[in-house]
């Protein structure tokens, strides 16, 4: 799914209206109906009991709010609409004012009266906001943010631009939930604005698909339909050789669990064979916990030093629990220098930290190596940034300069390809914020690489599946108690869920 900005959506709106032979008011009505449906589904029967207040601006976002108010009112909800006084309402806003009837007018200087609790629907500004809100908006935004119940925003939290940096301190609605139309907007995905976006749902309002397909942009949002088609069916005559031999290299004293989790995740992700290269201390641990894995035991006792990789491996996953002791750094550097240019590799954790401290090794990275830093590791690798936009630009420059794929972990993990395209992930939840989740991801992606998925596909599919395991695990364990090992246990269900339905049993 593409990520688009306000200007692009305005154009697609126009094309939709022409091609579908509908009026812009009808499109607004569609959007409002979808928003009402989504709120009914999220709030359930509770919505009937709540006093609902809708705050409307002068543009089409306000027009949506007026339509939502009318639809909710017709369905018997306890709804109150407040409309900002203006000299220049948009045409569809005016139509919906007439259709709604009763509403309360307010100005920015008014002491806006709100119920003590209930649901507040913010329809002041949507994707038509062209710059930060000025000081005159502080009063109303502060009132909205101080509301005693949940605040939901239609299309965008008012005050948040779709895809540009915003001055910190500019007035902005802090929405518990955003119902955004057709496609996500970049600022809904960036950590910088996390405080204003409690969560969001994309509502399909049936904009013209050709126009959506043709819209240009480097930013994408990976949803199930984008990756389900990548999963390869298994032929009846396939065998373990068909699915590749993955090699995981890592572990050190006290951190063997990382390799255990990575190895189990690899095997559960379908590789045919798996070898783990571990220091001697890892030998009994791996053999007893992951019997399917073969072992190549290093000469190093407590940490890796030899990095021998004599097998014929289709993919390497390196760095998990590895440490960066002197002999490990030496062995890793030598291993990097001996790599074949077509090798498929994913580097994580200490492998990335070693690269950060030994930039001379970057030149040995085979093309399309996947690097999986969390924000701190990324900063060691590419340097400090001043904001999320600069971070993305610096990451793109790094990916291009070294011909690698950067996978920046976090909520909405961003995968940055060397051509500058950027894929944000849609799955996952804060239950994954427990040490070990990253090791599971490395195992999954290494396994996919071994099976022959090209690196960008392996990265997108791996990140999506990894997040999906957490979304499934959340139903059983919740976000607080969920563990990385639970993610592994939900891999079978996640793959099954993603698998395209077959008409043959």
Q: How far apart are CA 90 and CA 80, in angstroms?
A: 21
> Interface with ligand NPW includes 130 (CB under 6 A)?
yes
Among ligand ADP, ligand NPW, K ion, none, the one that 439 touches (CB under a kind-dependent 5 to 8 A) is ligand ADP
> Interface with K ion includes 356 (CB under 5 A)?
no
> Interface with K ion includes 60 (CB under 5 A)?
no
> Interface with ligand NPW includes 286 (CB under 6 A)?
no
CB-CB contact of 461 with 444 (8 Å): no
**Residue with Cβ nearer K ion (68 or 315):** 68
> Interface with ligand ADP includes 184 (CB under 6 A)?
no
Q: How far apart are CA 484 and CA 477, in angstroms?
A: 12
Answer for which of 154, 274, 465, 482 binds ligand NPW (CB under 6 A) is 154
3-state secondary structure (DSSP) of residue 59? coil
DSSP code of residue 363: G
In the range 110-129, which residues lie near K ion by CB under 5 A? Answer: 122, 126
In the range 136-175, which residues lie near K ion by CB under 5 A? Answer: 153-154, 158
Among ligand ADP, K ion, ligand NPW, none, the one that 436 touches (CB under a kind-dependent 5 to 8 A) is ligand ADP
Tell me if 162 is assigned to a ligand binding site.
no
Per-residue contact string for residues 73-112; x = within reach of ligand NPW by CB under 6 A = -----------------x----------------------
Q: Closest separation between CB of residue 281 and ligand NPW, Å?
A: 57
Strands 422-425 and 414-416: antiparallel
Provide the Cα torsion 222, 257, 320, 271; round to 10°. Answer: -60
Q: Closest separation between CB of residue 250 and ligand ADP, Å?
A: 11
In angstroms, what CA-CA distances link 32 with 65, 71, 74, 456? 7, 8, 13, 37
Phi, psi for residue 268 in degrees, rounded to 5:
-70, -10
Among ligand NPW, ligand ADP, K ion, none, the one that 118 touches (CB under a kind-dependent 5 to 8 A) is none
Q: Which residues pair with 220 in a beta bridge?
A: 2, 423
| Residue 127: HSE in the Cβ half-sphere, 13 Å Cα cutoff | 26
> Interface with ligand NPW includes 451 (CB under 6 A)?
no
Strands 315-318 and 370-371: unpaired
**Residue with Cβ nearer ligand NPW (8 or 369):** 8
Question: What is the SS3 string spanning 456-491?
Answer: HHHHHHHHHHHHHHHHHHHHHHHHHHCCHHHHHHCH
Residues with Cβ within 8 Å of residue 174, at least 6 apart in sequence:
145, 151, 157, 195, 196, 198
**Residue with Cβ nearer ligand NPW (59 or 321):** 59
Tell me if 122 is assigned to a ligand binding site.
yes
In the range 363-422, which residues lie near ligand ADP by CB under 6 A? Answer: 374, 409-411, 413
Q: How far apart are CA 175 and CA 123, in angstroms?
A: 11
CB-CB contact of 174 with 142 (8 Å): no
**Residue with Cβ nearer ligand ADP (257 or 272):** 257
Binding residues, as ranges, are 60-64, 122, 126-132, 155, 158, 258, 321, 374, 409-413, 438-439
Binding site for ligand ADP (CB under 6 A): 374, 409-411, 413, 428-430, 432-433, 435-439, 441, 466
Binding site for K ion (CB under 5 A): 122, 126, 153-154, 158
Binding site for ligand NPW (CB under 6 A): 9, 13, 27-28, 31, 57-64, 90, 125-131, 133, 154-155, 181-182, 205
């Amino acid at each position: 799914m593409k990520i688009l900005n306000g200007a692009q959506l305005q154009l697609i709106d126009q094309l939709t209206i022409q091609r579908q032979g509908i009026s812009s008011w009808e499109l607004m009505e569609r959007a409002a109906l979808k928003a009402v449906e989504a709120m009914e589904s999220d709030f359930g029967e509770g919505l009937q009991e709540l006093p609902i207040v809708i705050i409307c601006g002068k543009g089409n976002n306000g027009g949506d709010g007026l339509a939502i108010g009318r639809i909710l009112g017709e369905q018997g909800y306890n709804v109150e609409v407040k409309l900002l006084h203006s000299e220049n309402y948009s045409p569809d806003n005016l139509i919906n004012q007439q259709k709604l009837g009763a509403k309360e007018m307010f100005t920015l200087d008014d002491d806006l009266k709100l119920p003590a609790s209930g649901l507040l629907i913010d329809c002041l500004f949507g994707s038509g906001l062209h710059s930060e809100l000025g000081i005159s908006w502080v009063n109303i935004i502060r009132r909205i943010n101080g509301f005693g119940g949940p605040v939901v925003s239609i299309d965008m939290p008012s005050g948040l631009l779709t895809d540009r940096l915003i001055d910190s301190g500019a007035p902005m609605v802090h929405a518990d939930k955003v119902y955004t139309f057709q496609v996500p907007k970049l600022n809904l995905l960036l950590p910088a604005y996390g405080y204003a976006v409690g969560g969001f749902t994309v509502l399909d309002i049936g904009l013209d698909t050709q126009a959506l397909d043709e819209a240009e942009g480097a930013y994408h949002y990976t949803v199930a339909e984008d990756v389900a088609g990548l999963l390869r069916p298994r032929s009846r005559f396939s065998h373990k050789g068909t699915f590749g031999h993955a090699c995981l290299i890592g572990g050190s004293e006290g951190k063997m669990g990382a390799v255990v989790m990575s190895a189990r995740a690899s095997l559960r992700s379908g590789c045919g064979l798996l070898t783990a290269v571990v220091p001697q201390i890892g030998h009994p641990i791996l053999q007893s916990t992951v019997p399917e894995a073969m072992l190549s035991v290093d000469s190093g006792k407590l940490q890796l030093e030899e990095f021998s990789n004599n097998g014929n491996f289709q993919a390497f996953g390196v760095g998990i629990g590895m440490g960066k002791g002197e002999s490990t750094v030496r062995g890793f550097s030598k291993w990097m220098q001996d790599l074949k240019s077509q090798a498929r590799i994913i580097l994580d954790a200490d492998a990335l930290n070693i690269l950060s401290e030994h930039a001379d090794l970057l030149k040995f990275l085979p093309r399309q190596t996947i690097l999986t830093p969390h924000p701190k590791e990324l900063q060691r690798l590419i340097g400090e940034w001043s904001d999320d936009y600069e971070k993305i630009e610096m990451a793109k420059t790094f990916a291009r300069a070294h011909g690698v794929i950067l996978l920046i972990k976090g909520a909405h993990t961003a995968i940055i390809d060397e051509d500058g395209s950027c894929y944000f992930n849609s799955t996952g939840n804060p239950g994954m914020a427990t040490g070990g989740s990253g090791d599971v991801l490395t195992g999954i992606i290494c396994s996919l690489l071994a099976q022959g998925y090209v690196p960008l596909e392996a990265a997108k599919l791996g990140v999506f599946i990894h997040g999906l395991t957490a979304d499934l695990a959340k139903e059983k364990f919740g976000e607080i108690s969920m563990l990385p090992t639970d993610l592994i246990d939900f891999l079978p269900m996640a793959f099954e869920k993603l698998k395209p339905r077959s008409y043959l049993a």
